[in-house]
Structure 1
C-alpha cells in the first residue's frame, strides 16, 4: 500500500507524545516501511485488572488509532497472564492478582470498549498467556538472568518502596520481564504506553536486543488529568469519565472540568483532524463556555453517537439551565401511603444509606415538586397522583403510593 510521506507520518506520530526513544530510530523504521511497502507492527499492552476504561486510557488508544490510519498494524496485547502477577507501576504496595478467568473476562470487555476508538477489523488482539503460560521454570530462570536487582531498583516505584521499607514481592520483579517477553515473541517495531510504563517499555527494548531482534521504538504518552484538575484520572479517585458512562452523565462530567483543562483535553482526546477540535483550540480562551460544550458533545458523540450527544446536551440544559425535570422519569409506586423521607431516599437508591439520606437533606439537596425539604424527620405522603422527587443535582424520581390503585 502507499503510505503517507515520512514527514507527514512523523508529524502525526510525534503529536502529543512525551518521549520517543529514539526519534532517529523511529525515522529509520518509517523510511524502511515506506520503501518496502510493509506496515510497522505497533504494540500496546492492555492491563485487564479493571474492566472499565476511562478517558485516560483513550490517550494511548488514540495514538494507536493514528498508527492504524497511517496504514500500520495495531497489536493489542491483553495481559491475561501478566494480570495474574499484577502491574506494580506507580503502586506503593503489592497489587492483588487476578485469576485466569477474571483476566480473560476483563480482557474481552477491554477490547469491546477499546473498539470505540480502534478499528476492530484492523486490530490484532493477542493474549499473552498463549506464550507466557507455556514457559517452564527453567525458562523463567533464564529470563530472570537478564536483569539484576540493582537494575530493577532503578525503577522509581520500586526504589521508593525499598527506601521506605515497604515490601516488594519477588514476583513483582517478573512483571516487566514478562511484559518484555511479549515484545520478544511479537517482534514488534514500536511499543506505546503511558509515562508510568516507561521502565517496562525499555525492558522490552533491552530483551529484544539480547534476542537478536531490532529493538522497538518506545513512545510514551501523557497521563490525563482527571475532572477535578489535579490528580491523574482514576476511578478510585472519583475523577474519571468512563467509556460506558451514560451519555448524559458523560456530558455533564466533561462540562464539570476546570477551564484550564479545555485545551489539554481537546488535544489529547479528540482526533487531530476533528473539526470540533480545531474550533475549540482556536477559541477556548475567548469563549471557554462554548468550547467546553463543544468538547463535551464531541466526546459523547465519539463514545455514543451524534444524536446521543445532542440529546445529552438538551437534557443538561433542561436540568441545569432551565431548572426543569427531565422529560421522562420512570415511575416508582409504593404500597405504603406515607414513608419517612430518609427511608424513601434509601429505597429509591438516591442515597446509599439512611445516613447519606440525612446528609442530603441537611445539605438542602432534596426537593419534592420543586419544594425543598430540610427536615430529616419529614414524612412524605404518597398519593395516587405522582410526585417528582429531586436528590442532589442530577437525580430525579417520580413517586406515587397506593400500590397499583
Structure 2
C-alpha cells in the first residue's frame, strides 16, 4: 500500500478516500461488495499524533509535579491547577487541530479527547491530593503516569508497575486485530441491511429530542445497535493503545472495556466495572473522591461524577463535531444524570427488599438482567449518540477497520 504524501495529511482521510482493490468481491441484493483491509497509513498517522501528544503530556506532567502534586490542597495547587493547566487542556488541543486543518472525526476525537480527558481529571486529582502513591515517588514516575494514554497497573503492595510479558503483549495484539475484524464486520451490517440498522450522516431530525422519541421502542432498538458499535470501536482503539503502551513500556495496563453491553449485572456494574474503565478511574480520583473529601455524600459524589462526565462529553461536541449542521447542548449531560439516577435507585433501600421489584430483578438470570440494564438506558441513549450518528464519525472510522463496502452495481 502506497503511503500518502505529507501534503495530503491529514486531509485525505475521508469516507470517500480510495482503499485500493478489495481482497474479494461478492454480489448481494443486486449490488457488488468488496472485503477491504484496514488502512495501515491512517493507523500510522493516527498513532503518530497520539504519541506526540502523550510526550507533550509527559513534559507538562513535569511542571504539574512541581507546581501542583507537591503542593496538593494548597492555594498554589488551586491557582496553578485551575488557572493554568486545566484551561490549557480545555482549549489548546482544539486550537491545535484547527490550526493544522484536521477535519477527520476520528483524528479529532483521538487528539482532542484521549490525552486531554485523562489530563483534566489527573490535574483535579493532583489538586486535591489523590494522585496515586506510585506516581508521586519521583518526577519521572509522575511524567510516565501523566503522559501514558492508558492507565498502567501498579502492585498496591510494592508500589511498582506490573511487568508485561511478551505473551501478554502479543495477546493484546491478537485482540486488537480481532477487534478490527469484528468491529468492521459489525459496522458493515449497517450498510448491508439498511432497513434494520440506522443510517449515518445528515442533520439531526427536528423530533430527535421529543417525548415521542423517548418512548419509541424503535428508537431504543437503533440506540442499542449504535451503542454496540460504540463498544467495539472503543474496544478496537483501546486494545490498539494497550498493545502499543505495553510494547513501549513493558508494563501492563488496565483493560478499557469489559463487554458492558452483554455482561453487565447492573447500572453500577456497567459504568463502574465494564464501560471505559480509564475514564472511570479518572472520574473516581478526579471527581468522586474530592467531592467526598469536601463533605459530600456518596450520592452527591456519584451525581457529580456523572455530571462531570456529561460536561466533558458536551465539550467534545464543538471540538469534534463543530461542522455538524445542528448541535444540541445539554441533552448529553441529562443522559448521564439519568444514569446517576439509575445507580442511585440500585443502591436505594428499596433494592435491598427481596419482595420489591428491584429485589426480584436482582435474582433474575444474568442475560435477563443485562438486557434490563441496557434497556433502562435506551430511552435517553439517542441523546448521547446524536452527534456520532448524524456526522461522518463512523463512516470515517471505518477506514481503520476491516470492512465490507459497496463497490458498484452488479
Same fold flag (TM > 0.5) = no
TM-score by length of 2: 0.21
Question: Relative contact order: is structure 1 or structure 2 higher (C-alpha 8 Å, sep ≥ 6)?
Answer: 2
TM-score by length of 1: 0.21
Which of the two has greater helix per residue?
Answer: 2
Max radius of gyration: which structure? Answer: 1
Which of the two has greater strand per residue?
Answer: 1
